[in-house]
Chains A and B, each alone.
Chain A
Amino acid sequence: MDRDVTVALEPAAEASPRPLALTPGEDLLGFVGAYLGRALLLVVTCTSVLVVFLILVFVVLRSVPFLGGYDLTKFLASQDWRPTADDPSFGALTLIVGSIYVSVAALVFAVPVGILAAVFLSEIVSWKVRNVVKPVVEILAAIPSVAYGFFAILVLAPWLQEHFGFTTGTNALNAALILAVMALPTIISVGEDSISALGRELREASYSLGATRLETVVKVVIPAAHSGLIAAVVLGMMRAIGETMVVWMASGNATQIPHPWWDLSQSIRTMTATIAGEMGEAPDIGGVSHRSALFAVGVILLLMTVVLNVISEYFLSRAKKAAGKT
């Protein structure tokens, strides 16, 4: 080794050619640039927020005549939805229950399958397989819902009728199954992300203490990813509860609450399907009318999704925090 070789750096300039203080011109330019940039971003952000806000205001405003003039307890607690009768009655309970009913039923199918699939993709299969399967699953989310609706009517409904002896194939079970399939991509994708984000260290810690793969998944991986998994489920539920076309086509649209409650073979009707189906024929007259009643239903739907959104945001931010700390 030749130790005499030294790497010579250019000597530093005596007086620095680049002054450390800003000139007044640079100062002004920087100030204006930062100001303009911020202003531009603010305008863009405000516009999109404003649009969402305006839609909200519009829906709420149009529902005000109804909410002000109609008995609220009757609206929320009565099962009597006869908007076009001579003596109209606007009891929305069957619709509210219908929406929750199919969404929850869909989740009962989708959550175990979705979380197992997320665990499978992130824990069991190789990286290569995961990189093929995950995008394919995510494509399921891009199929238009009317296509799912066709499938519900033309394939699933006859199949259910034939194999289970249901009186009608378009019923709560049909809608719930299709909604479950539609919620799966969200649950799998968000769930897989939150499990993969955990990193190898945590699993190594578990294995090094003599845990099996099952013990590691159940005791370490899933608890550590629980915030993200809950958020995944809530996002999937939002997808289900806001879905219109599929439930309109698949649920049978009967304004009734299934009796007994667990009988999924009965037809039901959701808030979304009701609004979509009846809005066109509801005349735009003032006061308590069919149309303003539909807007009131829309307000309930909005409230429900806002609450779900807040819940999912809460858990997602917790998941992010947990991932940042580990």
Chain B
Amino acid sequence: MSSLMTPPSDPPPVETQYLASPPTEDRGKATVPRPGSKMDIMATAQNRKATKPLETVPAGEQAIIRSERFSLYYGAKAGVKNITMDILPHMVTAIIGPSGCGKSTFLRSINRMNDLIPHVRAEGRLAVDGQDVYDKRTNLVNLRQQVGMVFQKPNPFPKSIFDNIAYGPRLQGVRNKGQLQHVVEQSLKAAAIWDEVKDDLKKSALALSGGQQQRLCIARALATRPRVLLMDEPCSALDPIATGRIEDLMEQLKTTYTIVIVTHNMQQAARVSERTAFFYMGELIEYDRTAKIFRNPGKKETEDYVTGRFG
């Protein structure tokens, strides 16, 4: 199909294709970059933050997700209105804003998760890799495989832990037992839950605690090897230790993935993201480098919100 389906270059062979970033143990080592990907150029950079090349927002052609005057309506009511923003690859973009301002709505628009809700209507353009996702000819299966999602509420399948993680790879036709085993282990390690579940992968995922279920869902999303990861308040049910590990994970993943995260936690947004978008009442108020949003916001509403003087 379109450019959505495959990156311009050949992906590495399947064995190494899952989780290009190594599991937690060998974090220091270099990751396997996709040939031709931005990682190639960046491979020598020790500290990515120091050498961040992008000085302006938006950065035109480089955007992986492009929203142009995008609106989404639930019946007559607008969930988000007129959003224009470019989300850049290989970094973490945070979306912040008060409850009900449309953060989830926008995030779920990117992989067309709102399709299940009746009477939903989209306007404007929302493109991933140049492909308008609301175009009738969009291949939804490929879109969702490449744009993974972690939901606000953990939603494991009532299946075993193993089957939960293997669900995505199996859909993609992976049948080989050893290969599945490998993916499951790598994904669970990446999501910082391997140690807790490695002895009972056959156990029902529903028997896990809420926080464990959320990390399982993160692992499950990673197992399909998406290029973009949408995370809707992934840490709201986690303790500080697990939260820290998830944040480490994001730091690690963004070398190969693009991450968009919704969070109510200002410190988290400031810690993990390079770009921050502030939503208010369904509209995008301000979108800039995270440091600027938090230190020197351009709009009064943003300043009120990030300093906690809101309303």
On A, residues with C-beta under 8 Å from B are 126-127, 200-212, 215, 219-220, 223-224, 322, 325-326
With the chains together, A326 CA to B157 CA distance in Å?
A: 8
Complex Cα distance A205/B149, Å?
8
Contacts of A203 in B (CB 8 A): 116
Cβ distance A98 to chain B, nearest Cβ, rounded Å:
40
Give chain B residues whose Cβ lies under 8 Å from the Cβ of A204. Answer: 113, 116, 151, 155
Judge whether B141 and A322 touch: CB under 8 Å. no
**Contact between chains at A206 and B116 (CB < 8 Å):** no
Which of B116, B144, B153, B217 interacts with A210 by CB under 8 Å?
A: B144
Sample (11) of A-B pairs whose CB atoms are under 8 Å apart: A202-B157, A205-B155, A205-B156, A208-B144, A208-B149, A208-B221, A209-B144, A210-B145, A220-B157, A224-B158, A322-B206
Q: How far is the CB of B144 from chain A (nearest CB, A)?
A: 5
Bound state CA distance, A322 and B159, in angstroms? Answer: 11
Name the one of A201, A210, A326 contacting B224, with C-beta atoms under 8 angstroms.
Answer: A210
Which of A204, A209, A325 has the most B CB atoms < 10 Å from its CB? A209
Contact A209 B171 (CB under 8 A): yes
**Please, which residue of chain A has its CB at the minimum distance from the CB of B172?**
A210
Q: Which of these, B118, B144, B149, B206, contacts A127 with CB under 8 Å?
A: B118
Whether the pair A208, B111 counts as a contact (CB closer than 8 A) is yes
Partner of B167, one of A209, A212, A322, A326: A209
Which of A211, A325, A326 is within 8 Å of B171, CB to CB? Answer: A211
Assess A205 versus B217: contact at CB under 8 Å? Given A210-B168, A220-B157, A325-B158: yes
Q: Which residues of B contact A220 (CB under 8 A)?
A: 157
Residue total for B at the interface (Cβ-Cβ under 8 A) = 28
Q: How far is the CA of A248 from the CA of B217 in the complex (A)?
A: 56
Tell me if B157 and A224 are in contact (CB < 8 A): yes
Chain A residues positioned under 8 Å from B221 (CB to CB):
208-209
Q: How many residue-residue contacts, CB under 8 A, span A and B?
A: 69
Contact of B148 with A by CB under 8 A? yes
Across-interface contacts of B116 in A (CB, < 8 A): 200, 203-204, 207
Complex-state Cα separation, A55 to B168, whole angstroms: 55
Q: How far is the CB of B8 from chain A (nearest CB, A)?
A: 21
Residues of B within 8 A of A202 (CB): 155, 157-158
B220 at the interface (CB under 8 A from A): yes
Q: Assess the B168–A209 pair: CB atoms within 8 A.
A: yes
- Distance between B130 CB and nearest chain A CB, rounded to angstroms: 19
Contact across chains for B118 and A208 when beta carbons are under 8 A apart: no
Query: Which of A208, A224, A325, A326 is within 8 Å of B113, CB to CB?
Result: A208
- List of A residues within 8 angstroms of B220 by Cβ: 205, 209
Contact bitstring B140-174, A, C-beta under 8 A = 1, else 0: 11101100110101011111000000011001100
CA distance A326 to B221 in the complex (A): 18
Pair B159/A223 contact, Cβ less than 8 Å: yes
In the complex, per-residue mask of B183-211: 1 if CB is within 8 Å of any chain A CB, else 0 = 00000000000000000000000100000
Cα A33 to Cα B70 in complex, Å, equals 62
Contacts of A224 in B (CB 8 A): 157-158
In the bound complex, how far is the Cα of B157 from the Cα of A200, in angstroms? 12
| Contacting residues, chain B, for A201 (C-beta < 8 A) | 151, 153, 155
* Contact call B156/A210, Cβ cutoff below 8 A: no
Residues on A with beta carbons closer than 8 Å to the beta carbon of B168: 209-210
B159 lies within 8 A of A210 (CB)? no
Q: Are B224 and A209 in contact (CB under 8 A)?
A: yes
Give B164's nearest chain A residue, CB to CB: A205
Q: Which residues B12-49 have CB closer than 8 A to chain A?
A: none
Contact with A along B100-141 (1 / 0, CB 8 A): 000000000001010110100000000000000000000011
Q: A322 vs B205: C-alpha distance in the bound complex, in angstroms?
A: 12
List the 5 shortest-distance A-B pairs measured between CB atoms, nearest first: A210-B145, A201-B155, A209-B168, A208-B149, A205-B155
Residue numbers in A under 8 Å from B115 (CB-CB): 207
Contacting residues, chain A, for B155 (C-beta < 8 A): 201-202, 204-205, 326
Select from chain B the residue with minimum beta-carbon distance to A215. Answer: B171
- On whether the beta carbons of B206 and A326 are closer than 8 Å, the reply is yes
Nearest Cβ in chain B — how far from A290, in angstroms?
Answer: 53
Sample of 15 further A-B pairs with CB below 8 A, known A206-B157, A210-B168, A211-B167:
A127-B118, A200-B116, A202-B158, A204-B155, A205-B156, A207-B140, A209-B148, A210-B141, A210-B145, A211-B141, A219-B167, A322-B206, A325-B206, A326-B155, A326-B158
